[in-house]
């Protein structure tokens, strides 16, 4: 049973560029959440996708956008990259139903470095 898979695992970009990160949820899960984890910090909620719609968004600017596809996979796009966007980007999947009582299954993350 494949867990949550993310790609790429590492990438380096320069300021002002754009990046797309990809995530495939765990089998049987239809809900995908994205988190940003800066060095030495806990994960910060970016947004959650369910039924191809953004269901809730955290305190992130519009430069952060996403998409969910019919097969439940998801993309995170970040435009106009800033140095402060350097972080580990975590995708987490969960089954639908009660949204707040289940565990999150995390992928291994995409480590983004902005120079």
Partner 1 sequence: QKEVEQNSGPLSVPEGAIASLNCTYSDRGSQSFFWYRQYSGKSPELIMSIYSNGDKEDGRFTAQLNKASQYVSLLIRDSQPSDSATYLCAVNGGTYKYIFGTGTRLKVLA
Which residues contribute to the site for partner 1 (CB under 8 A)? 33, 35, 40-45, 48, 50, 55-56, 58, 88, 90, 99-101, 103-109
Residue (76 or 90) nearer to partner 1, CB = 90
Report, in Å, the least distance between residue 16 CB and partner 1.
Answer: 28
- Strand positions, DSSP E, 25-114: 31-37, 44-50, 53-57, 64-68, 74-78, 87-94, 105-106, 110-114
Report, in Å, the least distance between residue 43 CB and partner 1.
Answer: 5
Q: Give the chain's radius of gyration (CA, Å).
A: 13
Residue (50 or 79) nearer to partner 1, CB = 50
Report, in Å, the least distance between residue 65 CB and partner 1.
Answer: 17
Burial status of residue 109 (CB atoms within 10 A of its CB: 0-12, 13-18, 19 or more) = buried
């Amino acid at each position: 049973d494949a867990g949550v898979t993310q790609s790429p695992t590492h990438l380096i970009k320069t300021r002002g560029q754009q990046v797309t990160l990809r995530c495939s949820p765990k089998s049987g899960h239809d809900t995908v959440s994205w988190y940003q984890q800066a060095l030495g910090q806990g994960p910060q909620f970016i947004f959650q996708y369910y039924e191809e719609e953004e269901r809730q968004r955290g305190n992130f600017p519009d430069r952060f956008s996403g998409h969910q596809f019919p097969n439940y996979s998801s993309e995170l796009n970040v435009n106009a990259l800033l140095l402060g966007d350097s972080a580990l980007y975590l995708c987490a999947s969960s089954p639908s139903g009660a949204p707040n009582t289940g565990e999150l299954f995390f992928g291994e993350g995409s480590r983004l470095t902005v120079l």
